[in-house]
A = this chain, B = another copy of it.
């Protein structure tokens, strides 16, 4: 069996996914919709939506923020819109952001196919898992060479989810995945530009395109993953075949990680530590000194010692630590501004924060020690790579969504997502939430 054929069989299997995989699919769907709605008015979102609507506003696929277009256009637009704030989920084994790609593709096709919510969710679960496995197969070598797994590995997950919803048979699904090998792309050299979120949109559109072409009869080279000049070899893949071991039995997607803070990902483990210390009853005025330990590779990324702008604050251990202990909601996009950087109590606490490096620490981990004026010490450590508890994750994602969208909209969105799996529920409720303007 070729890799494409193996993956096609997995993508189409009617066996149930693990409970965790299904549960985290729903949580990621809610978080994806939240990130998309929160980012719908970003410049890249406006550009992508304008292009989609310019292709004829008479289709059946919803664009986040308003409009119905043909599925490929919706997939492209929604992938970019939902990744515009970089506030969507992350998967460290995938080395990227699986949901923005897979969900944008799957929803666009599911709407025009009139899918049941349950079938849409099943396609998401398989597409997300496949994207993570392919990302792991491409591996660290692929990422270090300059490729962006969100764009590359994501395209295969998008193809699988879209193809499953279209009802492709195994041969056609194999062709669709093979076709995606000659189409998937995405470079990290675009990080920091609008092309970064567009990489997600492009990958979502690749998935829809390859699935549709396979349905219309296109046949491709099924060996194009492992061919001597296939996708892996031409794209610095690590060819870790064990990345596919146990696929369909073991599920890696539940290792997904969520962003609860509207700032650089390098700060998140530290902010989790501070939330724990704050929850233990430590007030800002009780603090003598705070020592943050992190992997030193982050120093070049997010260690602005005395930020003066909102953007700088998003890349500052010291500033965001002070904000967190003072109860500023770091999930809120609006709190990162010049006024916050100037606030006297925040600046005073910021100046008590020391940042230290420890190369032995995983880059997903942080340790925080707070020395208090009473001579006692509190400490906490956190690793973002730890598998989260779904019930606690749900509460936190709801809080994040309420901060970003307001309570009413976030609750309506939660309702739309959490009822998708019930009998006879289609996608109209979810689509209605995504179309809503602010």
Contact of A189 with B221 at beta-carbon distance under 8 Å, contacts A146-B229, A178-B195, A213-B47 already known: yes
A44 vs B220: C-alpha distance in the bound complex, in angstroms?
Answer: 11
A209 vs B198: C-alpha distance in the bound complex, in angstroms?
Answer: 11
Assess whether A70 is interfacial by the CB under 8 Å rule.
Answer: yes
B185 and A182 form a contact (CB under 8 A): yes
A51 and B229 form a contact (CB under 8 A): no
Which residues of chain A from 178 to 224 have any CB-CB distance to chain B below 8 Å in the complex?
A: 178-179, 181-190, 192-195, 198-199, 202, 209, 212-213, 216-221, 223-224
B179 and A195 form a contact (CB under 8 A): yes
Q: Which of A17-25, A52-60, A156-164 is near enough to bind chain B?
A: A52-60
Shortest C-beta distance, A111 to chain B (Å), equals 14
User: Who on chain B is nearest to A199 by CB?
Assistant: B182
Contacts of A59 in B (CB 8 A): 55-56
Q: Which of A99-107, A230-238, A266-274, A355-363 is near enough to bind chain B?
A: A230-238
Shortest C-beta distance, A398 to chain B (Å), equals 33
A186 and B194 form a contact (CB under 8 A): no
Assess whether A386 is interfacial by the CB under 8 Å rule.
Answer: no
A198 and B181 form a contact (CB under 8 A): no
A227 contacts which of B46, B73, B189 (Cβ < 8 Å)? B189
Contacts of A46 in B (CB 8 A): 216-217
Shortest C-beta distance, A77 to chain B (Å), equals 11
A220 contacts which of B151, B183, B195 (Cβ < 8 Å)? B195
A179 vs B195: C-alpha distance in the bound complex, in angstroms?
Answer: 6
Shortest C-beta distance, A391 to chain B (Å), equals 39
B199 and A189 form a contact (CB under 8 A): no
Assess whether A48 is interfacial by the CB under 8 Å rule.
Answer: yes
Contacts of A234 in B (CB 8 A): 145-147, 187, 189, 236
Shortest C-beta distance, A7 to chain B (Å), equals 17
Shortest C-beta distance, A333 to chain B (Å), equals 20
A386 vs B73: C-alpha distance in the bound complex, in angstroms?
Answer: 44
Contacts of A233 in B (CB 8 A): 146
User: Who on chain B is nearest to A71 by CB?
Assistant: B55
Assess whether A43 is interfacial by the CB under 8 Å rule.
Answer: yes
Assess whether A50 is interfacial by the CB under 8 Å rule.
Answer: yes
B43 and A55 form a contact (CB under 8 A): no
B220 and A190 form a contact (CB under 8 A): yes
**With contacts A50-B216, A195-B220 known, what are 15 further pairs, Cβ within 8 A?**
A44-B218, A46-B217, A47-B218, A51-B209, A55-B56, A56-B58, A58-B58, A146-B228, A146-B230, A151-B182, A178-B195, A183-B202, A187-B229, A189-B223, A234-B236
Q: Which 3 A-B pairs have the closest CB atoms?
A: A146-B229, A47-B216, A55-B70
